[in-house]
RNA sequence: GGACGCGUAGCUCAGCUGGUUAGAGCGCUUGAUUCACAUUCAAGAGGUCAGAGGUUCGAAUCCUCUCGCGUCCACCA
C-alpha cells in the first residue's frame, strides 16, 4: 500500500487531475469503452446558452445526468452523453448589444456582418468558459462529439427541416397579429410572453351611443368595431349597425386635425362578458390577437396605428410620432376636455411582457413565418399536434413525475400556430430567397426607405413586408430564380429574418447525431446509420420542468415529424433551485444566487452534487444553502476516512500486497457468503473459517444495499438511493461494523477473525456504488486502492437472488446485540458515571450462546465486563435483562416512571385493538400476530419495570 | 377562470400503492476524545403529521371541504 492518505479530504487538490485522467482515458467516448456493450444508453445534454457562465440550475441537471450516465457505463452499457451549447439567439444577441451600448454603439452602427462577427467571437469565448465550468462539475461528457446549434451541419439540418416542412405545407408565411417586443425589435412566440400584474386604469369612453371600457385608450384610435354580448339587451338595437365616432371635441378647435373620426361596426359575440365594464368592447383588430380573430370572423378592417418602435403611425392622426404612453396621456386629456371620458377606475390588469427583457409586448400585424400545428401532415392524416399528443398518451414516452402529463396535454391541446421568424441577426437565417425581378414592387425600391429603421436594407424591407413576392425556399442559396431564370445575385435576396432559437433546439436529439446525413429517406421510416442508429431515440431527456413547452414538447413534435420516431423514451423533470427561504434565484439579484463554482471550490463537487440530489423529489423545487452542502462535505470526508481506515488497517497488520489478497470473485458478481456445512463462511485461498454474527449481518446489509441502490437508480429514485447508501455507509458500516471489526479482527489478541477480506470486499463495491453520486472522491480512493485502475469503467456489482436472501435470524440477533449495547450506553450516560470506567454487567437471556459469541463486542462497545453475578441498575429489554453495577440516581427514576406511564398507555391501546372483533376478523393474520407480539413484549417489559 | 404542487421536530426535507409507540440532516442539550475521521464519537430533548368532516377494524398516507403558501396555463377589452 502506498503512503497514507491525509486525514481530511481536500477536493480542490484532486478534482482537476481526476477529470483530466478521466477525459484523457477516452472512456467518455462510448466507442472506446471496453467489453461488448450491446445495449446503448444515451442522453443529449440540454445545451446551455452561450450567454455567459454556468448557474446552479446547470449544476443540478449535470448532476442528475451524470449519475445516470455513470451508472449505465458501470452497468456495461454503450453509454453516450453528448454535450453541446445553444446559440440562444435573442439572449446572446442582447448581451452583446448591451456591451456595444456601453461603448456608445448600436448593432446598426456595425452592420449585420460586423455585428455577427462580434457575437460569434463572444459566443466562442463563452463556450470555452462554460466548457471548463461543466467539466468542474465532473460531468462525464463525450467532448469529442460536442455540438453547437450554429455548427455547419446543424445549421444545414435546420434548413432541411424548414424546407421539408415548407414542402409539406407545415410552414407558411402569413400576415397576422404577432407578439412584438419593441425593445428586442422582434416577434416572440406565445410561449415567450409572460404576464405581470400591473396597477393601471380602466377608462370609460363615450363611443357615440355606447360607452366602452378600456385599459388602453390609445388603441381606440385604430378601432373598427364594437363587440357586445348577443344576450345583452342594452345594445340589442345597435347590433349590426355601423356608427360614426368622433374621438375628439369638435367644440374647442374647428380644425380637422383636432378631431379623430372613426367608423365602428357593432357586432355580437358570445365571448363578450356582459359584467365587465359596460359590456361593450372597442375592437382594435391590428393590436390584439383576440380582436384580430373577431375581425376575421366579422369582416372588420384593420388599422395599424402603432409601429414596431412603439410609436404612433400616421393613421393615428395628430398623435403620429408620439410614443404609446405619451399618446395615451395626451389622448385621454383630449377626451376629457371633450367630455368623452365618463369615468376612470383603478384596475389591476395582467400586462404581457417579453420574457427576455420584461418590456411590455405590443401586439401588431406583421408578415411572419409560422409552423402550422393543426394542419394534417400529407400522407399521415395527422397534425403535428396530434402526433405529439399521441405518443405520450400511449405511453411511448414516459414522463416523470407523471403529473406533468396533464400539463403537457393541456399545452398541446391549446397550441396555436408557432411564429418562428425573428427580426434579429444572430441565429439561423431563414432559408428563403426572393427574386426582385419577379416582383411587382421592383420599381418601388426607393419607397419607404425612410421608415425602415429595422437595420435591414431597403430591398430586404420591401421583400419582407411586401405582398407579392414569391418566396424561393431552398436548402442552399439558389443560383438562379427558378421562375424567371434571373442569375443576378444582387436581385435574389435572402429573407433577413432568423429562426426562433427553439426551432433548432427542437432538432437537438438527432441533429447532434448526424441527421439528416445519417438517415436515408425512404418511403416509410427513414433508415438510420451510425450514431443515429445506435443512440436514437435517446434514453432519457433530463431537464427542468420550466422547459416542458419551449423545448421538450417541440423536440417531440420535430422528431416524430422528421424521423417518425420519438426523441427520447423517458423524460425526467427536476425541480428548480431556490434559496433557503424558498425565494427564486434570479440573475437580476446576484445575492440570492448560489454560485456552483464557488461551492465547488469551498466544499467540493461531490458535496455539491449530493446536496442537490438527496432530499429532492422529482419535479419539486429544492432549497439549497451552504449548511446543507457542508453536511455532505462531511459525509464525503467520512467516506474518505472509512476507506483510509480500511486500507491502512489492512496494511498495519502486515497484509500482503493488495494484489496478493484472495480475490473473492471477479467484480460484478457478489459471492461472498457461501454455505459450507450449514455455516456461512468466507472463501480464502482454500481456507475456510466461520464468520461472526457481525460479519454475516454487514454482508447481508450490504447485499441489500446493492440491490436497493440498483433498483432505485433504475426507477429514477435518486434521492432514496443516496439516502439509503448514506445510512448504510455511515450508520451501519462505520458506526457499527468498523467498531466491531476493531474488536473482533484484532489478531494481536489471538482472534482468528481477520476482517481484511470482508472489509476490502465491501469497500471495493461500495466505492462503485457511490461513484455515480460522488465521482471524484471515489475515484481518488480507488486509485489508492488499486493504483493504475480507473473506477469509472469497473463493473457495477450485482447480487444473485440466492445470495441476497435475507436471513432474518441474523437480523434479529444482531439487533438484540445492538439494543443491549445501546441500552447500556444510555444508562451510563443518564447516570453520569465515569465514562472511562468498565462496569460489571449481567445479561440474562434465553440466548446465552449469542451473548457468549458476542461477548467481546458487547464488552468493548459498552465498556462493561460480563459477569455471572451482579447487582445494581436493571435494564429491561424485550429479549434480555441487564443488570449494571452502578447506583441509580433520581433522574433515572423519573425516566423510569415516565416509561411506565407510556407503556401502560400503549398496552391499553393494544388491548383495545385486539379486543375489537372487527379488527380480529378483518385484519390480515400477519398483522394480528404482529400486534399480539407487540402487546406481549410491552407487558413483559412493564412487569419487569414494576418488579 | 382552469390545472397542479406544497403545508410533518426550531430550520431544510423524507415517508403518502393505508397496519412501526412517525424518520433523517442541520441546530439544540449532556458527555467523550492520542490509537480512521472534531468535516469525529456516544447519549438525549423536541412533533395532537395545517384544520374540519368522511371511508376503514385501522389514516401522516385514500375521499370531501376549509384555511395558508407557491407554480403553470388561459385571459376581461
Chain segment A210-228, per-residue pLDDT in tens: 999 999 999 999 999 999 9
3-state secondary structure A82-95: ECEEECCHHHHHHH
Predicted pLDDT of residue A457: 65
pLDDT band, residue A686 (cuts 50/70/90): very low
A715 Cβ contacts chain B strand, under 7 Å? no
Rg (CA), chain A: 37
Asked if residue A209 has pLDDT above 90, the reply is: no
How do A242-246 and A261-268 pair as beta strands?
antiparallel
- Nearest Cα to A605, choosing from A779, A793, A775? A775
Predicted pLDDT of residue A672: 43
- Nearest Cα to A375, choosing from A404, A409, A420, A416? A416
Asked if residue A822 has pLDDT above 60, the reply is: yes
Q: Helix, strand or coil for residue A619?
A: coil
Predicted pLDDT of residue A870: 87
pLDDT band, residue A688 (cuts 50/70/90): very low
**Residues A4-27: b if buried by 16+ CB within 10 A, e if exposed:** ebeeebebeebbeebbeebbeeeb
CA of A757 to C1' of B6 (A): 48
Predicted pLDDT of residue A603: 96
A229 Cβ contacts chain B strand, under 7 Å? no
Asked if residue A756 has pLDDT above 50, the reply is: yes
Name the residues in A805-844 having a C-beta closer than 7 Å to nucleic acid strand B: 822, 825-826, 829-830, 832, 835-836
The complex's ipTM works out to 0.96
Taking residues A585-600, what's their average pLDDT?
A: 87
A44, A538 contact by CB (below 8 A): yes
Predicted pLDDT of residue A584: 86
pLDDT band, residue A25 (cuts 50/70/90): very high
- What is the C-alpha separation between A150 and A519, in angstroms, rounded? 20
Name the nt closest to A645 by C-alpha to C1': B36
Give tens-digit pLDDT for A609-662.
Answer: 999 999 899 999 999 999 999 999 999 999 999 999 999 887 544 444 444 444
A687 Cβ contacts chain B strand, under 7 Å? no
Predicted pLDDT of residue A674: 41
* Separation in Å, CA A589 to CA A161, A191, A584, A626: 39, 24, 10, 18
Taking residues A802-806, what's their average pLDDT?
A: 64
Give tens-digit pLDDT for A114-147.
Answer: 999 999 999 999 999 999 999 999 999 999 999 9
pLDDT band, residue A196 (cuts 50/70/90): confident
A195 Cβ contacts chain B strand, under 7 Å? yes
- What is the C-alpha separation between A599 and A136, in angstroms, rounded? 11
A579 Cβ contacts chain B strand, under 7 Å? no
Torsion over CA: A293, A297, A299, A300 (sign): negative
Q: For nucleotide B19, give the residue with the nearest CA to its C1'.
A: A927
CA neighbours closer than 13 Å in the CB half-sphere of residue A486? 17
- What is the C-alpha separation between A235 and A266, in angstroms, rounded? 9
DSSP bridge pairs for A212: A205
Highest mean pLDDT among A444-448, A485-489, A627-631, A688-692: A627-631
Sole residue written with cell 356582459: A274
User: Is residue A492 exposed (0-12), middle (13-18) or buried (19+ Cβ within 10 Å)?
Assistant: buried
- What is the C-alpha separation between A295 and A301, in angstroms, rounded? 7
Asked if residue A384 has pLDDT above 50, the reply is: yes
Predicted pLDDT of residue A866: 93
Q: Which residues have a Cβ under 8 Å from the Cβ of A930 and sit 6 or more positions away?
A: none
* Separation in Å, CA A685 to CA A690, A698, A741, A849: 14, 22, 21, 30
Name the nt closest to A617 by C-alpha to C1': B14
Name the residues in A734-763 having a C-beta closer than 7 Å to nucleic acid strand B: 734-735, 738-739
User: Is residue A705 exposed (0-12), middle (13-18) or buried (19+ Cβ within 10 Å)?
Assistant: buried
Predicted pLDDT of residue A669: 35
- Nearest Cα to A466, choosing from A486, A446, A440? A440
Q: What is the dihedral of CA A907, A912, A918, A921, to 10 degrees?
A: 40
CA of A931 to C1' of B56 (A): 18
A88, A356 contact by CB (below 8 A): no
Sole residue written with cell 488497517: A649
Predicted pLDDT of residue A803: 59
- Nearest Cα to A789, choosing from A2, A22, A14, A246? A22
Strands (DSSP E) contained in A691-754 are none
How do A568-574 and A538-544 pair as beta strands?
parallel
Provide the mean pLDDT of chain A: 87
pLDDT band, residue A675 (cuts 50/70/90): very low
Predicted pLDDT of residue A253: 45
Taking residues A900-911, what's their average pLDDT?
A: 84
Predicted pLDDT of residue A454: 52
Predicted pLDDT of residue A658: 46
Taking every pair of C-alpha atoms in chain A, what is the biggest distance, in angstroms? 120
Name the residues in A898-927 having a C-beta closer than 7 Å to nucleic acid strand B: 902-903, 906, 916, 918-919, 922-924, 927
Q: Helix, strand or coil for residue A551?
A: helix
Q: How far separated are the first and last CA of chain A, in Å rounded?
A: 57
User: Is residue A31 exposed (0-12), middle (13-18) or buried (19+ Cβ within 10 Å)?
Assistant: middle
Asked if residue A96 has pLDDT above 80, the reply is: yes
Bases of chain B with protein Cβ within 7 A: 3-6, 11-15, 19-21, 24-27, 30-33, 36-44, 56-58, 69-77
Predicted pLDDT of residue A355: 86
Asked if residue A890 has pLDDT above 80, the reply is: no
| CA A658 remoteness from chain centre | 42
A410 Cβ contacts chain B strand, under 7 Å? yes
- Nearest Cα to A552, choosing from A422, A416, A409? A409
Q: What are the φ/ψ torsions at residue A46 (nearest 5 degrees)?
A: -60, 115
* Separation in Å, CA A671 to CA A508, A684, A767: 44, 12, 17
Asked if residue A529 has pLDDT above 90, the reply is: yes
Tallying the residues shown for chain A, one arrives at 947
Task: Say which residue, A317 or A425, is predicted with more confidence.
Answer: A425
A71 Cβ contacts chain B strand, under 7 Å? no
Taking residues A858-875, what's their average pLDDT?
A: 91
Predicted pLDDT of residue A255: 47
pLDDT band, residue A295 (cuts 50/70/90): very high
Predicted pLDDT of residue A449: 41
pLDDT band, residue A386 (cuts 50/70/90): very high
Percent above pLDDT 70 for chain A: 89
Amino acid at each position: 500500500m502506498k503512503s497514507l492518505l491525509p486525514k481530511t479530504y481536500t477536493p480542490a487538490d484532486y478534482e482537476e487531475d481526476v477529470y483530466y485522467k478521466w477525459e484523457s482515458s477516452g472512456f467518455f467516448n462510448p466507442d472506446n469503452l471496453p467489453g461488448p456493450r450491446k445495449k446503448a444508453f444515451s442522453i443529449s445534454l440540454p445545451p446551455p446558452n452561450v450567454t455567459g457562465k454556468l448557474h446552479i440550475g446547470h449544476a443540478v441537471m449535470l448532476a442528475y445526468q451524470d449519475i445516470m450516465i455513470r451508472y449505465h457505463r458501470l452497468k456495461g452499457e454503450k453509454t453516450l452523453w453528448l454535450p453541446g451549447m445553444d446559440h440562444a439567439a435573442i439572449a446572446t444577441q442582447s448581451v452583446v448589444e448591451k456591451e456595444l451600448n456601453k461603448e456608445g454603439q448600436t448593432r446598426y452602427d456595425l452592420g449585420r456582418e460586423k455585428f455577427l462577427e462580434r457575437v460569434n467571437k463572444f459566443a466562442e469565448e463563452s463556450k470555452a468558459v462554460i466548457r471548463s465550468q461543466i467539466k468542474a462539475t465532473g460531468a462525464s461528457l463525450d467532448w469529442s462529439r460536442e455540438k453547437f446549434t450554429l455548427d455547419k451541419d446543424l445549421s444545414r439540418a435546420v434548413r432541411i427541416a424548414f424546407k421539408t416542412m415548407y414542402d409539406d405545407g407545415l410552414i407558411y408565411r402569413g400576415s397576422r397579429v404577432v407578439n412584438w417586443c419593441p425593445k428586442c425589435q422582434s416577434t416572440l412566440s406565445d410561449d415567450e410572453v409572460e404576464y405581470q400584474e400591473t396597477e393601471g386604469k380602466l377608462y370609460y369612453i363615450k363611443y357615440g351611443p355606447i360607452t366602452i371600457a378600456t385599459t388602453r385608450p390609445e388603441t381606440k384610435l385604430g378601432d373598427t368595431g364594437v363587440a357586445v354580448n348577443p344576450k345583452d339587451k342594452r345594445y340589442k338595437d345597435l347590433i349590426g349597425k355601423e356608427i360614426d365616432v368622433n374621438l375628439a371635441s369638435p367644440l374647442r378647435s374647428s380644425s380637422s386635425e383636432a378631431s379623430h373620426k372613426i367608423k365602428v361596426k357593432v357586432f355580437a359575440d358570445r365571448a363578450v362578458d356582459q359584467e365587465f365594464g359596460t359590456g361593450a368592447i372597442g375592437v382594435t383588430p391590428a393590436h390584439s390577437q383576440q380582436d384580430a380573430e373577431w375581425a376575421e370572423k366579422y369582416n372588420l378592417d384593420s388599422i395599424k396605428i402603432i409601429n414596431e418602435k412603439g410609436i404612433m403611425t400616421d393613421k393615428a392622426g395628430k398623435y403620429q410620432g408620439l410614443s404609446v404612453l405619451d399618446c395615451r396621456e395626451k389622448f385621454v386629456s383630449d377626451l376629457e376636455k371633450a367630455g368623452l371620458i365618463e369615468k376612470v377606475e383603478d384596475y389591476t390588469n395582467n400586462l404581457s411582457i417579453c420574457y427576455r427583457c420584461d418590456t411590455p409586448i405590443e401586439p401588431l400585424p406583421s408578415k411572419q413565418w409560422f409552423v402550422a400545428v393543426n394542419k394534417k401532415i400529407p400522407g399521415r392524416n395527422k397534425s403535428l399536434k396530434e402526433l405529439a399528443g399521441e405518443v405520450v398518451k400511449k405511453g411511448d414516452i414516459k414522463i416523470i413525475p407523471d403529473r406533468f402529463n396533464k400539463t403537457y396535454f393541456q399545452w398541446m391541446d391549446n397550441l396555436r400556430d408557432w411564429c418562428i421568424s425573428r427580426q434579429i441577426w444572430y441565429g439561423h437565417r431563414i432559408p428563403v430567397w426572393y427574386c426582385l425581378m419577379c416582383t411587382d414592387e421592383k420599381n418601388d425600391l426607393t419607397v419607404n426607405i425612410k421608415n425602415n429603421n429595422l437595420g435591414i436594407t431597403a430591398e430586404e424591407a420591401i421583400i419582407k413586408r411586401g405582398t407579392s413576392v414569391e418566396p424561393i425556399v431552398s436548402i442552399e442559396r439558389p443560383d438562379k430564380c427558378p421562375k424567371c431564370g434571373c442569375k443576378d445575385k444582387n436581385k435574389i435576396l435572402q429573407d433577413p429574418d432568423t429562426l426562433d432559437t427553439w426551432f433548432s433546439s427542437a432538432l437537438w436529439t438527432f441533429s447532434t447525431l448526424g441527421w439528416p446525413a445519417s438517415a436515408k429517406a425512404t418511403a416509410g421510416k427513414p433508415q438510420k446509420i451510425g450514431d443515429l442508429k445506435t443512440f436514437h431515440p435517446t434514453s432519457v431527456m433530463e431537464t427542468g420542468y420550466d422547459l416542458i413547452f419551449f423545448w421538450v414538447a417541440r423536440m417531440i413534435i420535430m422528431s416524430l415529424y422528421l424521423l417518425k420516431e420519438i426523441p427520447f423514451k423517458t423524460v425526467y423533470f427536476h425541480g428548480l433551485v431556490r434559496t433557503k427561504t424558498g425565494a427564486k434565484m434570479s440573475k437580476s439579484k446576484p445575492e440570492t444566487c448560489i454560485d456552483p463554482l464557488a461551492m465547488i471550490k469551498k466544499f467540493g463537487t461531490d458535496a455539491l452534487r449530493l446536496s442537490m440530489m438527496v432530499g429532492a423529489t422529482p419535479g419539486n423545487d429544492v432549497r439549497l444553502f451552504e449548511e446543507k452542502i457542508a453536511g455532505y462535505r462531511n459525509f464525503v470526508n467520512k467516506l474518505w476516512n472509512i476507506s483510509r481506515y480500511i486500507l491502512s488497517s489492512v496494511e498495519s497488520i502486515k497484509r500482503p500486497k493488495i494484489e496478493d489478497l484472495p480475490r473473492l470473485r471477479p467484480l460484478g458478481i457478489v459471492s461472498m457468503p457461501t454455505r459450507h456445512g450449514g455455516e456461512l463462511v468466507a472463501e480464502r485461498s482454500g481456507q475456510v473459517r466461520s464468520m461472526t454474527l457481525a460479519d454475516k449481518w454487514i454482508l447481508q446489509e450490504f447485499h441489500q444495499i446493492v440491490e436497493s441502490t440498483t433498483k432505485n437508480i433504475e426507477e429514477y429514485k435518486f434521492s432514496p438511493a443516496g439516502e439509503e447508501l448514506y445510512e448504510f455507509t455511515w450508520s451501519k458500516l462505520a458506526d457499527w461494523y468498523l467498531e466491531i471489526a476493531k474488536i473482533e479482527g484484532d489478531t494481536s489478541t489471538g482472534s482468528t477473525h481477520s476482517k481484511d477480506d470482508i472489509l476490502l470486499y465491501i469497500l471495493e463495491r461500495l466505492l462503485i456504488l457511490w461513484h455515480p453520486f460522488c465521482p471524484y472522491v471515489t475515484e481518488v480512493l480507488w486509485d489508492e486502492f488499486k493504483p493504475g485502475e480507473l473506477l469509472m469503467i469497473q463493473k457495477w456489482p450485482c447480487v444473485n437472488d440466492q445470495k441476497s436472501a435475507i436471513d432474518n435470524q441474523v437480523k434479529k440477533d444482531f439487533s438484540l446485540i445492538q439494543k443491549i449495547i445501546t441500552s447500556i450506553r444510555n444508562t451510563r450516560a443518564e447516570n453520569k458515571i465515569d465514562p472511562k470506567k468498565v462496569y460489571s454487567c449481567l445479561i440474562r437471556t434465553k440466548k446465552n450462546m449469542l451473548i457468549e459469541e458476542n461477548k467481546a463486542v458487547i464488552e468493548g462497545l459498552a465498556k462493561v465486563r460480563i459477569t455471572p453475578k451482579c447487582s445494581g441498575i436493571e435494564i429491561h429489554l424485550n429479549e434480555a435483562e441487564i443488570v449494571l453495577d452502578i447506583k441509580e440516581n433520581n433522574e433515572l427514576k423519573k425516566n423510569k416512571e415516565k416509561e411506565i406511564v407510556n407503556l401502560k398507555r400503549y398496552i391499553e391501546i393494544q388491548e383495545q385493538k385486539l379486543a375489537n372483533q372487527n379488527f380480529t376478523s378483518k385484519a390480515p393474520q400477519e398483522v394480528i400476530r404482529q400486534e399480539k407480539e407487540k402487546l406481549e413484549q410491552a407487558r413483559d417489559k412493564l412487569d419487569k419495570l414494576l418488579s
